[in-house]
Structure formats: C-alpha cells, structure tokens
Amino acid sequence: MTKTIHSPGQKALIEALTNARKEAGLSQMALAERLHCHQSMIARIESGERRIDVVELVVLARAIGVDPSAILQAVATKVDAQQKM
C-alpha cells in the first residue's frame, strides 16, 4: 500500500476522529485548547492534510473523551483485510 493521506484507512481514521469530536460536542477550537495547540492543526488533521501516528491518536482520543480502541475499531471495520501493504 502506498503511504498516502488519501488511503481508505486514513480516510476512515479522519472520519472516526471527526465524528467522535462532534459527538462529544467539541469544536475544533475547544479540542485544540485541550491539546494546547492551534486550531489549524486540528483542521489539518481532519482535512487529511496531516497524518497522525499512534501516540497522537491516543492523545487525540483521550482529549475528545473516547477510548482510543473505539477509534481503531471504527477504522478496522472500514479497512479491507485484503488491502495491499
């Protein structure tokens, strides 16, 4: 699989994080304040302009107030097991 911010898995991750943030009633600005970062960083993540690593996923999920494994489960249901690496 070519590493790209436009892969199905990356799109599923962005969707899961964005949905979790919205369901928690948080704006991008409110989440950024919790993370002590700029709102533009959250916007870049949610627009797919910036990839995140697993540590950032844990930090983001906890700041949103969800279990990181719930985000991973949402991604796992959308990623084809036969997808090429």
Task: Decide if domain 10-84 falls under CATH 3.40.50.720.
Answer: no
Closest CA to 48 of 79, 17, 11, 23: 11
Query: Average pLDDT by consecutive 10-residue portion of the chain (85 residues)?
Result: 68 95 98 97 95 96 97 89 60
> What's the distance, CA 47 to chain centroid?
10
Q: What is the DSSP letter of 24?
A: T
For residues 20 and 61, the answer to whether their CB atoms sit within 8 Å is yes
Residue partners of 75: CB distance under 8 A and separation at least 6: 9, 12, 13, 16
The pLDDT assigned to 81 comes to 66
Q: What is the pTM of this model?
A: 0.87
